[in-house]
Amino acid sequence: MLTGQVALVTGASGPIGAAIADVLAGAGARVAAQYGTHPPQNAHFCVQADLAEPGFEQGLLASVQAEMGPVSLLVNCAADQAMQGFYDIDDDALARMLRVNVSAPLALSRAFVAQVPQAGVITNISSIEAQIPAPGHGHYAASKAALENLTRSFAATFGPRGVRCNAVAPGLIDRDGLDQDWHEGVARWQSACPLTRLGLPEDVAQAVLFLSSPRAAWINGSVLIVDGGTTAAGGW
Plot region of 28 (φ>0 → left; ψ -120 to 50 → alpha; else → beta): left
Give dist(CA 193, CA 14) in Å, integer.
24
120-125/45-48 β-pairing:
unpaired
The one-letter amino acid at 35 = Y
Per DSSP, the residues of 112-168 read HHHH-SS-EEEEEE--GGGTSPPTT-HHHHHHHHHHHHHHHHHHHHHGGGTEEEEEE
> Measuring CA to CA, which residue among 102, 81, 98, 10 is closest to residue 49?
10
Positions annotated as catalytic residues are 140, 144
